[in-house]
């Protein structure tokens, strides 16, 4: 599982699976501007996507080790492209939501396989960091290119066209996806521990991932709307959003460089503290400087912390099935966060939304600290 082609395929699979999420602010912003949707409607449109995403990834707990991964990606990639493209011709909100649910399921299957492959490598902390950096890089490039090209010409339909073209261009790398994998240390663990049991504290790490990403998704889904509410130019916001994804990339690369050197908990807690500063900056009205600083800082924190959250799950995963549950944990958070954000910001004020995000990051830091502290004796027993 450490072969370079396999790792590249897994990283590209993850990039494809995350492409809609990374373009979520642009997708929702253009949907609102060109389809006449309010904040609640675009919040639930995001949640519809992650409904499909979560159905696919929760079920993956049962099928991920029993079906051909090459077959799954061969089916899921065209289904994702067609489902997204359907949004161009569908006029009703309900039909658009259904197409988004289907796209979410297909992209989630690809994303889940990419995550599982990297969890099977001998250094998941490093490759999870690289994976999330690659996801941010692809998103940043599209953020730079689409507003001046397809979106400028076709609006919301241009956003959809850009996403579909990106999926088509990246899909050939999926031919390197292996048919199956294995938990890299499972044989050694089982032979040494003679049937060691899965640590129950892995659920605490999964809960921390879910809560963290609900806050991350809430602020990411509406970060463009926060800028628009302050009267900043759309072109300026488009450039800034691409820059924020570069900061997310830097955060992920930092996580990859650390590679577990300081564990997972200490960097996570430090990043959660930084997120509070970013919320305070975003809450300042009328200043593009403060807004830009807050947006860049929060995306840096998201890019930094997500690899550590998923790595903590992978570190506690004895039999190799549970790491894929980090994907629905991310997906449930991504589904709940924007919906909550849409409700909290329905009045047009984003202060309550930012308070919710700050609380989510703090709760996630507490959960991962407690679960890791209690799980380490179990992990030590398994590894002896």
Tens of pLDDT, residue by residue over 210-267, are 999 999 989 988 888 898 888 888 778 888 888 888 898 889 888 888 866 788 889 9
Q: Residue 331's pLDDT is what? A: 78
**Cα distance between residue 68 and residue 159, in whole Å:** 32
Tokens of 8: 């590249």
Q: Which SS3 state, helix, strand or coil, does residue 178 take?
A: coil
Q: How confident is the model at residue 196 (pLDDT cuts 50, 70, 90)?
A: low
**Cα distance between residue 117 and residue 65, in whole Å:** 11
Domain ranges of the chain: 4-383
Of the candidate CATH numbers 2.60.120.460, 2.160.10.10, 2.40.30.10, 1.20.1250.20, the domain formed by 4-383 belongs to 1.20.1250.20
Instruction: Answer yes or no: is pLDDT of 102 > 90.
Output: yes
End-to-end, the C-alpha distance of the chain in Å comes to 24
Q: How confident is the model at residue 377 (pLDDT cuts 50, 70, 90)?
A: low
Instruction: Answer yes or no: is pLDDT of 185 > 70.
Output: no
Q: Residue 260's pLDDT is what? A: 67
Count of helices and strands (H, E) across the chain: 15, 0
Instruction: Answer yes or no: is pLDDT of 167 > 80.
Output: yes
Cβ neighbours of residue 303 closer than 8 Å, sequence gap 6 or more: 132, 133, 136, 247, 248, 249, 250, 251, 252, 255
Cβ neighbours of residue 61 closer than 8 Å, sequence gap 6 or more: 321, 322, 324, 325
Q: How confident is the model at residue 119 (pLDDT cuts 50, 70, 90)?
A: confident
């Amino acid at each position: 599982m450490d072969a370079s082609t396999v790792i590249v395929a897994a990283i590209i699979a993850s990039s494809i699976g995350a492409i809609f999420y990374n373009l979520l602010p642009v997708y929702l912003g253009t949907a609102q501007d060109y389809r006449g949707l309010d904040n609640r409607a675009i919040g639930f449109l995001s949640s519809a996507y992650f409904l499909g995403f979560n159905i696919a990834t929760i079920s993956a707990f049962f099928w991920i080790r029993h079906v051909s991964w090459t077959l799954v990606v061969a089916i899921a990639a065209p289904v994702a492209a067609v489902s997204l493209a359907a949004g161009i011709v569908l006029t009703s909100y309900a039909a658009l939501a259904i197409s988004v649910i289907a796209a979410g399921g297909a992209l989630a299957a690809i994303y889940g396989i990419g995550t599982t492959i990297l969890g099977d490598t001998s250094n998941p902390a490093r490759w999870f960091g690289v994976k999330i950096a690659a996801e941010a890089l692809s998103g940043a490039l599209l953020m730079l290119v689409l507003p001046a090209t397809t979106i400028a010409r076709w609006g919301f339909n241009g956003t959809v066209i850009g996403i579909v073209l990106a999926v088509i261009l990246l899909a050939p790398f999926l031919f390197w996806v292996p048919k199956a994998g294995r938990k890299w240390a499972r044989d050694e663990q089982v032979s040494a521990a003679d049937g060691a049991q899965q640590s129950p504290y892995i659920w605490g790490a999964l809960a921390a991932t879910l809560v963290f990403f609900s806050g991350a998704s809430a602020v990411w889904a509406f970060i463009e709307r926060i800028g628009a509410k302050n009267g900043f130019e759309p072109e300026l916001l488009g450039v800034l959003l691409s820059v924020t994804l570069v900061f997310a990339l830097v955060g992920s690369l930092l996580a990859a460089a650390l590679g577990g050197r300081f564990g997972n908990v200490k960097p996570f807690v430090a990043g959660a503290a930084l997120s509070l500063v970013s919320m305070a900056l975003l809450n300042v009205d009328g200043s593009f400087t403060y807004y830009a600083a807050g947006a860049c800082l929060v995306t840096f924190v998201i890019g930094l912390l997500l690899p550590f959250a998923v790595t903590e799950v992978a570190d506690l995963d004895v039999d190799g099935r549970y790491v894929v549950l980090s994907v629905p944990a991310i997906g449930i958070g991504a589904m709940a966060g924007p919906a909550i954000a849409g409700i909290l910001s329905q009045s047009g004020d984003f202060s309550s939304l930012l308070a919710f995000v700050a609380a989510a990051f703090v709760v996630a830091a507490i959960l991962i600290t407690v679960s890791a502290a209690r799980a380490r004796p179990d992990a030590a027993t398994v590894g002896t």
